[in-house]
Structure 1
Amino acid sequence: MKQFKNILCIVDLEKGHKQVLERAVTLAENNHANLTVTTVASSSSTNIGVLERAFISTDLQVTILNNFKQELENLVKPYCQGINIETRILTGTPFLEIIREVLRNAHDLVIKCPASRDWLGHLFSSDDKNLLRKCPCPVWMVRPNTGESFDRVLAAIDLNDSYPSKELKTRHFLNEMVMDLGSSLVVSEFADLHVVHAWEAVGESELRHGAFMQRPADEVNAYVDQARQHHTQLLDTFMKEINNKLGEDTANYINPRLHMTKGSVCKVIPELAKELQVDCIVMGTVARTGVPGLFMGNTAETILDQLECSVLAIKPSDFVTPVALED
């Protein structure tokens, strides 16, 4: 199962969010990983954007950043007994500086709380979504005010085999990663794992109700049943592959509950998450391959806008962030 070795935890010194730090510490301890805890001081919060033009501003800038550093060190001090924690202050646009920190130090996981709700009331802000779109490593967004541990984790997989062959390989890798990380998470949290695959019979609505394509009900029912059997076989085959990789003992211990739900993935995943009261969803955020400039698919964005739980989002191993170390 996936073992993170170089974790980056983002904390908000004003809001606290101690639970995200505690989760990062626990994960680092369990994985014997390096842990860096940082906060991002925006230009507005440090006044650097205005003061840097003044000759006398340098000392004040240093004082402000030193205060941030001291606050951060005080925050992590109680957790340093059994683990070495490095602290760092970043300045600038949060999502950009977080990604640059990932690039500089090869972090393999970012864990943070959502910054704040957006103007529509969505859990994930514009800055959060930019981080989810463009960060090259997995991003774990931990919902504020969650319990000490998760009870239920939902792994969202896409086994649709109608994609082009190159994209099928990418999505198969993501499905494996989703299951790997989901399995690791439930073992760490002593939680239940649920696995969802949403499926549809393409063209069913037109065949039932279309003006030009309408077919007899028994024919459409037979077609839908055939699609259901096909997706059942896809799910069975994939889960056998995953169980073989996990090993019999681990697979039996995790014992995931499978949900093969008919409907649009944009509706199925949020509705199932709400029905099951899941604490965290593990999902891929890959866009369709071959679409320049598109880093997170519309499907993933639509799902994220409907969620009220934590999210662990992953991308393909060959994903290249558009963010550069230097402007």
Structure 2
Amino acid sequence: MIKYRNILVVIDPLHDTQAALSRAVFLAQKEDKAKIKALLTIYDFSYEMTSMLSGEEREAMRSGVIEERNVWLNEIIATYQSSGIEIETKVVWNNRLYESVIQEVLDFGHDLVVKATHPHPTLQSIIFTPNDWHILRKCPTPVMMVKEHDWPTKGKIIAAIHAGAEDEDHHKLNQKIAQETKDLSKLLDAEVHIVTAYPSAPVNIAIELPDFDPLKYNKNVMEFHKKALDKFVDEQFEQAVTKHLEEGLPDDVIPEVASQINAEIVILGTSGRSGFSAALIGNTAEHVIDQLDCDLLALKPHNFVSPFEK
């Protein structure tokens, strides 16, 4: 089984240590004939605002900066020569990193994007959507957000699913998550954990309806999700898996379980929500990412179309 043949790594221009590149090389070494492209996106507004220079002179300055960063990037790549993996380098001038990443995926058919991520201040995340969020929402291929930690042998993978979903799109996304989890667990010889969250009784209902029994409600909801989770695991997994059914919001449950079991990676689906609702609400992948101490692999629904596709 060859899972990832053509990996795109987003290079961090501010650090010599590249966690995303290390992770991509690790994955590529598990494959046969896998290749990596290291993409560095750079931009400096000062070169655009130098009005005393002609367009030709500004272009020459840009070319000089790109060449300088190319040398830096090749020095980093040289440290991975012993890996035996083919690593191509590319430096592009673009003031929107996420656009260059997604365009590269669309132009060259990359089957995985790997990017290191760092915590985002909550207020900043709401007002100025980080590149991570744009890539998670708009990139059509699986996106792996990497944090600084090791992937030990016999590690743990979490598949986060919506077991109680009743619509076809959610079922298909759950199946996609299951398949990715099975493939990655074989590749890494990892232990599989399935996590699903179920909602507790709304407080306002308990207040407004005196006869409402929240304990009975919670028990019924839990049993419904347990039956759905058991059915999903029986249908999708032949190997032994550990199931986690927890009351609460996925945004809280997933990081809690990941921390408890010391997971290496969480695999989940992302809606690709965009526009005003995305700016204010985001989605589970975005809410979870800052709370995780491990990697995140986000998958798109089967019918997802990137807004960058023509």
TM tier, smaller:
0.7 to 0.9
Alignment of 1:137-152 (within 5 A): 137-143=141-147, 145-149=148-152, 151-152=155-156
- 3-state DSSP of counterpart to 2:89: strand
* Cα displacement string for residues 62-81 of structure 1 (whole angstroms, at most 9, x for unaligned residues): 22211212222222234345
Residue 61 of structure 1 pairs with residue 62 of structure 2: yes
Assess if the C-alpha contact under 8 Å between 2:66 and 2:92 holds in 1: no
Deviation >6 Å, runs of 4+: 121-125
Alignment of 1:187-198 (within 5 A): 187-198=186-197
RMSD (Å) for aligned C-alpha atoms:
3.1
* Number of equivalent positions: 300
Assess if the C-alpha contact under 8 Å between 2:164 and 2:224 holds in 1: no
- 3-state DSSP of counterpart to 1:258: strand
TM-score with structure 1 length normalisation? 0.79
Tell me which residue corresponds to 1:22: 22
Tell me which residue corresponds to 1:180: 179
- 3-state DSSP of counterpart to 1:70: helix
Give the superposition deviation at 1:278: 2.6
Assess if the C-alpha contact under 8 Å between 2:120 and 2:290 holds in 1: no
Alignment of 1:4-23 (within 5 A): 4-23=4-23
Quote the Cα distance in structure 1 between the aligned partners of 2:198 and 2:140.
28
Give the superposition deviation at 1:2: 7.3
**Any gaps of 5 or more consecutive residues in structure 1?**
163-167
Pair 161,21 (structure 1): closer, same or farther in 2 beyond 3 Å: closer
- 3-state DSSP of counterpart to 1:147: coil
Quote the Cα distance in structure 2 between the aligned partners of 1:192 and 1:86.
32
Q: Pick from 211, 215, 220 the counterpart of residue 215 of structure 1.
A: 211
Give the superposition deviation at 1:121: 8.9
Assess if the C-alpha contact under 8 Å between 1:197 and 1:261 holds in 2: yes
Quote the Cα distance in structure 1 between the aligned partners of 2:286 and 2:75.
36
Pair 311,122 (structure 1): closer, same or farther in 2 beyond 3 Å: farther
Alignment of 1:39-78 (within 5 A): 39-44=40-45, 47-50=46-49, 53-78=54-79
Tell me which residue corresponds to 1:199: 198
TM-score with structure 2 length normalisation? 0.83
* Cα displacement string for residues 241-266 of structure 1 (whole angstroms, at most 9, x for unaligned residues): 112xxxx4xx2xxx321101122223
* Cα displacement string for residues 71-99 of structure 1 (whole angstroms, at most 9, x for unaligned residues): 22222234345222211112211111111
Assess if the C-alpha contact under 8 Å between 2:115 and 2:144 holds in 1: yes
Assess if the C-alpha contact under 8 Å between 1:206 and 1:214 holds in 2: no
Q: Percent identity?
A: 27
Amino acid in structure 1 at the alignment position of 2:9? C
Residue 136 of structure 1 pairs with residue 140 of structure 2: yes
* Cα displacement string for residues 28-74 of structure 1 (whole angstroms, at most 9, x for unaligned residues): 23233232111111234xx5423574432333322221121222222
Alignment of 1:1-327 (within 5 A): 3-32=3-32, 33-44=34-45, 47-50=46-49, 53-80=54-81, 82-92=84-94, 93-114=96-117, 116-120=118-122, 126-143=130-147, 145-149=148-152, 151-162=155-166, 168-200=167-199, 203=201, 205=203, 209-211=206-208, 213-215=209-211, 217=213, 220-243=214-237, 248=238, 251=239, 255-286=240-271, 297-323=282-308
